[in-house]
Amino acid sequence: MRTYLALGSNLGDRMDYLQQAVTKLAQEADIRIVKKARIYETAPYGDVPQDDFLNTVVAVETTLSPDNLLQVIHRIEAELDRKRVVRWGPRTIDIDILLMNGLEINTPSLTIPHQELTKRAFVLIPLQDVYDEEMLFGKSLPEWIDAAGNAQDVTLSKESWLV
């Protein structure tokens, strides 16, 4: 299933955490990295004072169920020292399932599509780099980015992927 994952980091060596997360995802037998978006520097979202984030999106193909993919993501976050102390607080790595092959899921542990997707330019802008479709929920990604109203907080980073 084509799946889009958002990744963000704002603690320590942010680029290294993104790179490690993608490497760990690629090492999973049931996940294949298809495309990686460029890296973006982003002002923090929410009211928690913290450093800027590096954000990106990766497109993957997976045979995992949504719940099993979420378990893999939580394991990778734990391996990369993710602590869930403050909602929307600083973190070494954050990996969110944005979209999963058109599935709609709403359970206490998982919502797909991601409930905040269309409100966050820091997700929509990198998604634009890797998204295969022209429309998302009846609008183009540029229309969603404009509607989010926070695109000015997202800039292309000097950081880039290791080959």
CA atoms 65, 90, 40, 162: torsion sign: negative
| CATH number for 15 | 3.30.70.560
Is residue 71, in this structure, part of any structural domain at all? yes
Count: domains in the chain: 1
pLDDT tens per residue, the chain (163 residues)?
999 999 999 988 999 999 999 999 999 999 999 999 999 998 876 666 678 899 999 999 999 999 999 999 999 999 998 666 655 567 889 999 999 998 999 999 899 999 989 999 999 999 999 998 889 999 999 999 999 988 998 999 998 987 5
Question: What residues pair up with 84 in beta bridges, in sequence order?
Answer: none
Across the strands, what pairs with 95? 7
Cα distance between residue 46 and residue 136, in whole Å:
24
What residues are annotated to the active site?
A: 82, 91, 94, 96
Which structural domain range is residue 30 located in?
2-156
